Amino acid sequence: MVTGSHIPADRNGIKFNKPTGEILKFDEERIREQVVEIDDSIFTDAGFALPEENIDARIDYVRRYLRAFPSDCLRGKNVGIYQHSAVGRDVLIEIFSGLGANVTPLGFSDVFVPVDTEAIRAEDHALAKEWSAENGFDVILSTDGDSDRPLISDENGVWLRGDVAGVLAAKYLAADSVSTPVSCNTALEKSEWFEDIRRTKIGSPFVIASMIEASFAGKQAVVGYEANGGFLTNSDLIVFGNELRALPTRDAVLPVLAIILLSIREQKPISALLAELPKRFTASDRIQDFPTEESTKILAAFEEIAAIEDAFGEAFGKVASIDRTDGLRVTFESAEVLHMRPSGNAPEFRCYNEADSEERVLDMQKISMEILLKLKG
């Protein structure tokens, strides 16, 4: 699949999938061992000759939802769909209108828009609030460019963070095992809704491997999600008496649909669902055009707790614990969190923070980035 994802257009490329789902790290090793012969006839004077579009996968994906969920389950819900340049923009309209929602398309674009669901652009924050105020939407939804990462807003046009959306979706689906990267919001544990929680390295292959282990351990409703909102299932789930087959790859429709249905079931707007979650707030940012080797140097400078406290102690206090599952995740005695790591798919250095108020986490994010930019030099 040639893809336009969430990163700038000049860094997009190719994704590989198997019939059963995403490729895993083991598959990547085998792919690298392959010798591939390329038929020069696929190239033309104008460049690479794309094959004819095959819509079978699109048809199957739409049917996945229209067969499992009742055609009127979203009746009366006003849904805005921010289309931009997302490959799944028309699929979203087809699915959500097919389930009875009143759908309004928004923001169609003929040029690529790098919507990053972990670092939402200021203009997208503003657009959602404007659209919500003008149209009285119950929810606005969107995806990144290749439509495997969702964006979902509350009724006020405030975008939910992907890891918070994952908690609510897992609740609706009555998951008995949840796998998620170490960087995701700890409201997951604090909610006490799930009997089995597994923390992984960042990246869907690690989440999938963890879900497979949970299924082997006998769990019956195994799900996973990432901070970007992509939701995965490794169990066949029953919804409205129908089977929803496992889909162990990032999905942008299921978490959005689950949250809307949760709000209907509990007769509460999405903002009220959020208000009932444990008060843990996350924020993330990134230093762009930052080579991985430079990121590695920064992390190497923090091998000792004393070095971490020298750099961040004045702002955040004493270190309570560190976790090196993926990059460096520091929990301070205040229970506030700083997590630093190189991006896995772009020359960027990412920084995540967690605190018990939105104001504080945004302040932490600002301070963290200022310190990191000074270290960058």
Q: What is the pLDDT of residues 49-58, one digit of tens each?
A: 777 888 998 9
- 125 and 179 inside one domain: yes
CB 152 within 8 A of CB 262: no
- 113 and 133 inside one domain: yes
Instruction: Check 5, 147, 153, 284 and give the catalytic one.
Output: 5
- 115, 186, 169, 194 alpha-carbon torsion, rounded to 10°: 160
CB neighbours (10 Å) of residue 344? 12
- Among the candidates 209, 241, 275, a domain finishes at 275
The answer to whether residue 125 sits within a structural domain is: yes
Can you give 87-99 as a three-state secondary structure string? CCHHHHHHHHHHC
CA distance 142 to 126: 14
As given in the structure block, the two tokens for residue 95 are 């699915």
Q: What angle do CA 228, 233, 239 make, to 5 degrees?
A: 115
Pairing of strands 177-181, 222-225: parallel
Query: What are the DSSP calls for 274-336, one per residue?
Result: HHTS-S-EEEEEEESS--HHHHHHHHHTTSSHHHHHHHHHHHH--EEEEE-SSSEEEEETTS-
- 224 and 266 inside one domain: yes
- 265 and 187 inside one domain: yes
- 207 and 344 inside one domain: no
Tally of structural domains, the chain? 2
- 211 and 242 inside one domain: yes
- Among the candidates 275, 302, 334, a domain finishes at 275
pLDDT attached to residue 3: 60
Q: Is-catalytic flag, 5?
A: yes
- 210 and 349 inside one domain: no
- 110 and 148 inside one domain: yes
Digit-coded pLDDT (tens) for 308-354: 999 999 999 999 999 999 999 999 999 999 999 988 767 889 999 99
CA distance 22 to 42: 26
CA distance 238 to 240: 7
Placement of tokens 């108020």 in the chain = 357
b/e map 38-51, b = 16+ CB within 10 Å: eeeeeeeeeeeeee
Residue 1 has pLDDT above 60, yes or no: no
pLDDT attached to residue 377: 63
Phi-psi region of 157 (alpha: psi -120 to 50; beta: other; left: phi over 0): left
CATH assignment of the domain containing 237: 3.40.120.10
Confidence class for position 9, pLDDT limits 50, 70, 90: low
- 358 and 246 inside one domain: no
Kindly tell me the burial class for residue 225, based on how many C-beta atoms sit within 10 Å of its own C-beta (0-12, 13-18, 19 or more): buried
- Among the candidates 213, 248, 275, a domain finishes at 275
* Least confident range of 118-122, 185-189, 198-202: 118-122
Q: What percent of the chain has pLDDT over 90?
A: 72
Q: Where in the sequence is the domain holding 353, given as residue range(s)?
A: 281-376
- 243 and 225 inside one domain: yes
CATH assignment of the domain containing 342: 3.30.310.50
The answer to whether residue 32 sits within a structural domain is: no
**SS3 at position 2:** strand
pLDDT attached to residue 12: 65
The answer to whether residue 31 sits within a structural domain is: no
Confidence class for position 357, pLDDT limits 50, 70, 90: very high
